[in-house]
Every structure is written in structure tokens, then in C-alpha cells.
């Protein structure tokens, strides 16, 4: 009986630890993926701004 | 369509979780007879319903399955462990308190097996849910296509936000990669946007966010009507990134868009009501259970060691920058500079009993009367002397934001180690930032957590308390 208790305790411990570690890792993975994409877009926008203002910013009229 | 899949998914989660709880109750029942515990018949007959109730209450409280809001996987994980933990606590409390069963303990087989089953289920079900959510779009034959039109800082941030949580719709990204600054007139811009709406409908986009600065739009309704014609939902997001680098909080007052510098949960009257109810209950308990016997003892010792009153009262800055009398046990000899000079280490104004009550923060206990009077709250930014408020308001630009809520006996800054003397402005800046963080992210759970951590820090002994 003690071995089964030990096994059940081990399984519970591993499950809890895996849940918390897994959720943090997944959060990190998603954040990393999304932020890389955001950085690429920001870089592209920055280049466009530079290009436009280097050629003297266009006057916007209504 | 996206809601159909969302609801099917959430109802499947609810069903799976309920089945797991019923399974756990069967396991409990199966092994209950093998233990020496003297179970009563009522408990055994209503075991499954009690277990389900212990599950449903935390589910409702933590809003595990939010049908009305956007599905957020991070929040789902967070609420999952909170719900499972609360379920376990409620279940054990139910057995201990309502049944007072003899020989019952946590180590009996039924407890161990049913808890292990639930924990293993919690892990594998959440892995399965994550897998299904991330692959759902590939399995749906006609996904709900969403896109953004407009290339600027706001649209990039919006795209990031949608990409993080677009589980039930197919987000195509930002469909134009040209910034609007290249358009020379509203007319030219209008033509390009009109064409974009037409092209978007051709490629099957069902919902499109148009993110541009309002100055480019002459008649927004014209674009809404055009989108209606193509059976597409058009949403306009004004880009204010050129106006301010900071972020705004928006709300709707009747039909008016209101921009605010920040979102404050305590602006909602219901939240204020909850906080007030917590303050009154907590203060009554402290006054009845602690101050009723501690007050006479401390009063006797304070009076014995130095001349003057038992309580020290000082005008401090409260909510909305209004002064109020803040009460404390007198820890110093009566002096004339108490309204301008902060206490410091080895301050010779402090009496021996004063040193003890300051170290243990017992000098703050009379402030529970301030809480009952409504001047203070149990948790909130610490109230400062009027002179300090005036001085720091000139030095720190967002100093007065902490006065949008009632001052507290303890606060986030105090449990974060920013209590005591502020020698440099940077010390006060850190404290103010923690206070503003509290104002922006208030919740009742946070208040309870701060109270709990204050007790622990006080028992451990805070080196900034002197």
C-alpha cells in the first residue's frame, strides 16, 4: 500500500510541477513569437518614416 | 461562427471538468469503505453533489469559463489552478466542519487517490485544451477571417494583441504595409481605403479593423456603408500614437468616446462598495479581538513612560487631497517638529515603548478607527504629512495619483519594502510607483493578499520599521 501511496504522491507532485512550469513556458513561447513579429513590423514602419522624412515630409491637405 | 466554435469548445471543457469531478467523487467513495473512518450515511449519499458544489462555487467566483469575454489562455491557466485549489480547500472544509468525522485525515486512501486523479487530470486536460486551441483553426473548413488595415504604431500593437488571443478566428495580419503618411490628401486616402475594402471582401475577410489617424477620414459612415455592401464588418480604431507616447484607457459615456490616462477599478461603485464592506468587517474584527485588550495595556505603558496623551493625532493627506486627522499610539515624547520631521533610526524623540510599538507596527492600530470613520481603508497608499505631500508633489509629476483612493494602514509599497524614511526622492518615486500600481490593479483578492503579507512581514520583523 505504501508504494501505491508513494506513486500517487509522486504523480501528483509531477503533475503540479509540470502544470506550472508548462504554463510559464507556453506563455514565454507565445510572447516571444508575437513580440518578434511586432519588432519586425516596428522596424519596417521605422524605415518608412525615415525614408519619408529624409525626402522631406509630405504636406497633408484636406 | 467564431462564437459557435468558442461556445462548443467551452461547453466541452465544462463537461470534461464535471466528469472529472464526478470521477474523483467515485474514486473517493470506492476507497472510503476501506478506511477506519466512521462515515455517516448523509455524507456518503450526497458525496457527488457536495463535490460538484465545491467545484461549482470556485468556478463561478473565478469565472473559469468566461463566455462573454475574449478567451484568454493565460487567464484560463491561472483560474484553473485557483479553482482546483479552492475546490480542494472547500471539499476538506466540508468534511471537517460539517461532518466532524472521527479518524479522518488527509492521508487516507480515498483522499490520496481522488486528489491524484484530479491533479493528473488537470495537467493532461490543460495540455489537450492548449493543443486543441492552437490547432482549431486548421480543422475548421471556413474560418472567420479577421484583418487589420493601416500601418502605424497602434495597428502593430493591435495586431500583437489579436495574435495573442485569436484562437477562434483566422487573423490574417496587417494587410497593407504602407504607412498612411505617404498620402497627400483625404481624397487620395479615401480612394485607397475604398479599394482596400473591396479587395478585402474578395479574399474573404469578414471583419476588418481600420486603424488610422482621424485626420485622414472625411466621412467615416461612407466606409461603413461600403463595408456593409460587401457584407463585411468594419471597425474603426483611431490611431493616437502621434498625439501621445503613452497609452490611454477608453470608455463610453452614453454615446461619447472618453479617453482617460488610466483605468482605475475603484472608480466602479460596486468595487468601492466591496472594499468598504471588507474595511468595516476587518476593522470591527481587529477592534473587538485585538484592540479591546491591547489598548488598555499600551495606554498604561505609554502614559507611564512619558507625559502626554495616549493617542497621537496628525493632519495627513487623504483621498482627493483632503486633510484628515490620522490616529496613532504616541511613540515619541511630545515635541513641536512632529508635523515636519520624519522619524529616523535612533531618533531620540522615541520612547522605549514607542520603539517597540514602532518596530512591531502596533502604533498604527488606532487607524482602524480612521477606517471605521471612513477616512482610511485597510489597504491603500500610506497617508503622508501635509508638508511632505506639498513637497513631493512638486518633485514627482504623478505623485497625486495615489490620492485618487483612500489612504491605507498597509499597502503594496509597504509589503514591497518601500516603507520607512524616504531619504532620497528616488525612494519616494519607487513608493509612488508601487502605490499607482495598486490603484490601477486593485482587486479584493489583492487586498487580502496584502493584509496577509503584512502580517508575515511584521512577524518576521521589517528592518525599515524603526
Phi, psi of A42 (to 5 degrees): -60, -40
Say if the Cβ atoms of B163 and A59 lie within 8 Å: no
Residue B418: pLDDT band (50, 70, 90) is confident
- Give yes or no for residue B1 having a pLDDT over 60: no
In chain B, residues with a C-beta closer than 8 Å to the C-beta of A62 are 185-186, 218
CA distance B113 to chain A (A): 7
Distance CA B8, CA B269 (A): 35
d(CA B401, CA B397): 9
How much is the average pLDDT of A24-33? 92
B179, B183, B239: best mutation site toward chain A, by most A Cβ within 10 Å? B179
- Nearest-angstrom CA–CA distance, B21 and A2: 25
Judge: B120–A15 Cβ closer than 8 Å, yes or no: yes
What cell numbers appear for A51 in the block? 525614408
Nearest-neighbour CA in chain B from A19: distance (Å) = 5
**pTM of the model as a whole:** 0.70
Q: A15 CA to chain B: closest CA distance, Å? A: 6
B-chain residues near A9 (CB < 8 A): 112, 116
Residue closest to B378 by CA, chosen among B421, B335, B343, B412 = B412
What are the chain A neighbours of B241 within 8 Å (beta carbons)? none
**Is this prediction's ipTM beyond 0.90?**
no
Which positions ≥6 away from B228 have C-beta within 8 Å? B234
- Per-residue pLDDT band at A50 (split at 50, 70, 90): confident
B83 burial level (CB within 10 Å; 0-12, 13-18, 19+): buried
Distance CA B67, CA B371 (A): 38
pLDDT over threshold 50, residue B315: yes
Interface residue of A3, A9, A12 to substitute, partner B, most B CBs within 10 Å: A12
The count of CB pairs under 8 A between chains A and B is 93
CB contact under 8 A, B218 and A5: no
The percent of residues in chain B predicted with pLDDT above 90, rounded, is 42
**Does the pLDDT at position B48 exceed 50?**
yes
Lowest-pLDDT choice from B90-94, B148-152, B253-257, B411-415? B253-257
Q: Do B181 and A23 touch (CB under 8 A)?
A: no
Give the distance from residue A62's alpha carbon to the nearest chain B alpha carbon, in angstroms.
Answer: 5
Query: In this model, does residue A60 exceed pLDDT 60?
Result: no
DSSP category for residue B103: T
Phi, then psi, of B456 in degrees rounded to 5: -65, -45
The pLDDT tens digits of the residues spanning B363-411 come to 889 999 999 999 999 999 999 988 888 888 888 888 999 999 999 999 9
Inform me whether the pLDDT recorded for B201 exceeds 60: yes
Average pLDDT over residues B427-451: 91
Average pLDDT, chain B: 86
Residues of A in contact with B182 (CB under 8 A): 48, 52, 58
Beta carbons of B153 and A49 less than 8 Å apart: no
Tell me the average pLDDT across B343-353. 73
Distance (Å, whole) CA B168 – CA B143: 8
- Range among B70-74, B106-110, B372-376 rated most confident: B372-376
Task: Report the 10 Å Cβ neighbour count for B119.
Answer: 22
Q: What is the torsion angle, in degrees rounded to the nearest 10, for the CA atoms of residue B215, residue B221, residue B222 and residue B225?
A: 150
- Please check whether residue A23 touches B, CB under 8 A: yes
The residues that bridge with B312 in the sheet, in sequence order, are B328
Tens digits of residue pLDDT in B241-254: 877 777 778 888 88
Amino acid at each position: 500500500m505504501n508504494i501505491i501511496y508513494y506513486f500517487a504522491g509522486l504523480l501528483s507532485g509531477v503533475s503540479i510541477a509540470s502544470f506550472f512550469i508548462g504554463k510559464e513556458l507556453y506563455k514565454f513561447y507565445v510572447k516571444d513569437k508575437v513580440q518578434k513579429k511586432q519588432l519586425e513590423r516596428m522596424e519596417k514602419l521605422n524605415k518608412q518614416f525615415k525614408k519619408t522624412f529624409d525626402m522631406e515630409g509630405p504636406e497633408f491637405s484636406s | 461562427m467564431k462564437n459557435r466554435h468558442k461556445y462548443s469548445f467551452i461547453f466541452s471543457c465544462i463537461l470534461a471538468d464535471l466528469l472529472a469531478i464526478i470521477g474523483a467523487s467515485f474514486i473517493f467513495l470506492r476507497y472510503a469503505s476501506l478506511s477506519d473512518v466512521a462515515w455517516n450515511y448523509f455524507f456518503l449519499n450526497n458525496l457527488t453533489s457536495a463535490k460538484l458544489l465545491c467545484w461549482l462555487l470556485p468556478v463561478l467566483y473565478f469565472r473559469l469559463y468566461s463566455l462573454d469575454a475574449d478567451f484568454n489562455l493565460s487567464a484560463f491557466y491561472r483560474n484553473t489552478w485557483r479553482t482546483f485549489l479552492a475546490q480542494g480547500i472547500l471539499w476538506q472544509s466540508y468534511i471537517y466542519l460539517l461532518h466532524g468525522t472521527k479518524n479522518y485525515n488527509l492521508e487516507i486512501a480515498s483522499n490520496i487517490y481522488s486528489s491524484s486523479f484530479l491533479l493528473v487530470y488537470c495537467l493532461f486536460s490543460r495540455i489537450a485544451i492548449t493543443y486543441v486551441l492552437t490547432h482549431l483553426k486548421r480543422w475548421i473548413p471556413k474560418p472567420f477571417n479577421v484583418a487589420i488595415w493601416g500601418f502605424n504604431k497602434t495597428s502593430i500593437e493591435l495586431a500583437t494583441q489579436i495574435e495573442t488571443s485569436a484562437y477562434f478566428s483566422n487573423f490574417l495580419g496587417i494587410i497593407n504595409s504602407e504607412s498612411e503618411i505617404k498620402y497627400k490628401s483625404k481624397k487620395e486616402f479615401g480612394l485607397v481605403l475604398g479599394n482596400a475594402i473591396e479587395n478585402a471582401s474578395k479574399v474573404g475577410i469578414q471583419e476588418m479593423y481600420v486603424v488610422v489617424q482621424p485626420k485622414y477620414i472625411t466621412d467615416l459612415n461612407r466606409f461603413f456603408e461600403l463595408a456593409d455592401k460587401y457584407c463585411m464588418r468594419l471597425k474603426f480604431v483611431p490611431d493616437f500614437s502621434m498625439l501621445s507616447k503613452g497609452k490611454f484607457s477608453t470608455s463610453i459615456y452614453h454615446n461619447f468616446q472618453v479617453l482617460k490616462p488610466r483605468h482605475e477599478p475603484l472608480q466602479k461603485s460596486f468595487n468601492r462598495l466591496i472594499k468598504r464592506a471588507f474595511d468595516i468587517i476587518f476593522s470591527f474584527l481587529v477592534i473587538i479581538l485585538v484592540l479591546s485588550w491591547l489598548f488598555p495595556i499600551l495606554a498604561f505603558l505609554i502614559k507611564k513612560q512619558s507625559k502626554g496623551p495616549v493617542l497621537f493625532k496628525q493632519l495627513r493627506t487623504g483621498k482627493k487631497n483632503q486633510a484628515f486627522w490620522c490616529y496613532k499610539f504616541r511613540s515619541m515624547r511630545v515635541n513641536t517638529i512632529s508635523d515636519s520631521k520624519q522619524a529616523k533610526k535612533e531618533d531620540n524623540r522615541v520612547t522605549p515603548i514607542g520603539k517597540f510599538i514602532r518596530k512591531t507596527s502596533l502604533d498604527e492600530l488606532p487607524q482602524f478607527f480612521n477606517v471605521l470613520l471612513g477616512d482610511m481603508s485597510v489597504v491603500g497608499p500610506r497617508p503622508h504629512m501635509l508638508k511632505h505631500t506639498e513637497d513631493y508633489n512638486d518633485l514627482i509629476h504623478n505623485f497625486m495619483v495615489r490620492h485618487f483612493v483612500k489612504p491605507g494602514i498597509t499597502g503594496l509599497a509597504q509589503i514591497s519594502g518601500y516603507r520607512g524614511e524616504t531619504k532620497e526622492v528616488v525612494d519616494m518615486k519607487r513608493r509612488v510607483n508601487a502605490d499607482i500600481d495598486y490603484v490601477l490593479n486593485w482587486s479584493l483578492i489583492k487586498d487580502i493578499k496584502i493584509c496577509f503579507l503584512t502580517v508575515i512581514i511584521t512577524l518576521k520583523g521589517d528592518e525599515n520599521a524603526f
